[in-house]
Structure 1
Amino acid sequence: MKALLLAGGLGTRLRPITNTVPKCLVQLGEQTLIDYWFELLLKGGVEQVLVNTHYLADAVRSHIAKSRWRDRIQLVHEEVLLGTGGTILANARFFDNSTFLVAHADNLTCFDLDAFKQAHEYRPGGRETIGTMMTFDTDSPETCGIVECDAIGLVRAFHEKVKNPPGNRANGAVYIYEPDLIDLLAKTGQQEIDLSTEILPSLMGKLATFHNDCYLRDIGSLSSLEKARYDIANSKMFSGLVSS
């Protein structure tokens, strides 16, 4: 399996830190945020990782050039951000017409990658189900995309950052998709595509879920960044994701 890490965002909610540091390179304990992703995915069996760049791209390129994983990381630059779906479509060849993983690199997470892959392989709905979305329980549901599922775990409704959402089971912005998604993206005729707002609403009943009950936090504010730093300093779960 190959993976795409989306790392080109501006990180405006983390200013002033991100005035000079791209969000994916914000320091969390002994490593940067994106380093935790590399350790999780590449130690977990992902063959190669593609990282898109945009904001402060030179800093990201320099950091990855020094990474122990650099031979298994590819970079692609976007002069104009293409959106989640647009980046997938523009790099379709990278995925070799195979099942692939996509993640927003502005989250801190810990999960069993093998369990995630197995959940996708044996997902309800079989071939009619185009992908598997990771979910988590959030303490700030109004800032997340809230998911409603049916009895077998298929997504039936999606509420993107609304007031008074119907629950706290949220989209973790980590997915495993079948290559059928790329065909769906191509049919839009667009280059810039936002997966959450333009594609996910059309996939109700075609997305399975995998619940992350280990750890996932959206690093979407300075307060959540401090909570993540505290969690890393005080939890043993991240010890296996520190580069040695």
Structure 2
Amino acid sequence: MKAFLLAAGVGTRLRPLTDSMPKCLVKVCGKPMLQWWLELLEFHGVSEVLINTHHFPDLVESFLASYSTKMDIHTTFEPKLLGSAGTLRANRAFISDGEPFYICYADNLTNINLAEMMATHTGSRAVLTMALKEMDNPSTRGIAMLDESGRVVSFEEKPAQPKSRLANAGVYIASTELLERITGKMTDIGYDLIPRLVGDIQGYRMHEYLRDIGTVSSLEAAEREWPKILHAVNWNGKEI
């Protein structure tokens, strides 16, 4: 299995930490967020990962050079940010085996059960499966509504008045057909791509931990919360 790990974000709201490092190398409980993701992907059988870089790319390369893994890890440098959909379009050659693949945002911290999500995707025959998490303050994320079969019937990115509490978790599984649906004008998955795929997207309700490490306050919260998660469950989200 392959995975895109979107890690090129500058992390403006995490300054001053990101004045000297990329967002993906900001540490949570002693490990860079990038490392937490690589461990999760490897646990779930991913064999090849493509990471996009932009801000302090040399530091990402240095980290990966010293990181021990059985996975094949590739990087692609973006002098100018392409946007999440733009990165997929520019690197479509990475997906050549016809198998479903993961798309993950490196600034989210989670222990989502990727194997269970893959089973949902395989059974749905959807173009895209999107992880969704019920949240108390969903207006900061894309919001989905599902039908009885779990199909996404509406999606709105960061609405002022959310119609549901099901928020986009920033974890996807895509069929190769998805790459054919990305046109040259699309740059962002949430704003440009997902709204055009409504009806072909399966929702996956996740119950594991999820936090967007986008601000200093969210990083501080993760430092308090993540150790409790690690001591209670494994990478499958199952109790230890």
TM-score, normalised by the number of residues in structure 2:
0.92
Spell out, residue by residue over 1:33-87, the C-alpha distance to the aligned partner (whole angstroms, 9 max, x if none). 1111000001210111110000111111111111012752111111111111111
Residues in 1 aligned to 2:100 and 2:25: alpha-carbon distance in whole angstroms: 28
Deviation (angstroms), 1:114 = 1.3
Corresponding position of 1:119: 120
Q: Mean alpha-carbon deviation: is it higher for 227-236 or for 114-123?
A: 227-236
**Equivalent position to 1:194, from 188, 197, 201:** 188
* Structure 1 residue 229 corresponds to structure 2 residue 223: yes
* Structure 1 residue 158 corresponds to structure 2 residue 155: yes
TM-score, normalised by the number of residues in structure 1:
0.91
Residues in 2 aligned to 1:162 and 1:221: alpha-carbon distance in whole angstroms: 20
Residues in 2 aligned to 1:70 and 1:151: alpha-carbon distance in whole angstroms: 40
Residue correspondences, number: 234
- What is the identity, as a one-letter code, of the residue corresponding to 2:213? I
Query: Where does structure 1 differ by over 4 angstroms across 4 or more consecutive aligned residues?
Result: 237-241
RMSD: 1.7
- What is the identity, as a one-letter code, of the residue corresponding to 1:88? L
Kindly indicate whether the alpha-carbon contact (under 8 Å) linking 1:12 and 1:18 is maintained by their aligned counterparts in 2.
yes
Residues in 2 aligned to 1:237 and 1:18: alpha-carbon distance in whole angstroms: 31
Percent identity over the alignment? 38
Residues in 2 aligned to 1:71 and 1:200: alpha-carbon distance in whole angstroms: 29
Kindly indicate whether the alpha-carbon contact (under 8 Å) linking 1:13 and 1:221 is maintained by their aligned counterparts in 2.
yes
- Residues 1-244 of structure 1: matches in 2 within 5 Å? 1-69=1-69, 72-96=72-96, 97-123=98-124, 126=125, 129-185=126-182, 188-190=183-185, 193-235=187-229, 236-237=231-232
- What is the identity, as a one-letter code, of the residue corresponding to 2:44? G
SS of the residue 2:148 aligns to: coil
237 and 159 in structure 1: CA distance in 2 versus 1, 3 angstrom threshold: farther
Deviation (angstroms), 1:160 = 1.1
Deviation (angstroms), 1:103 = 0.6
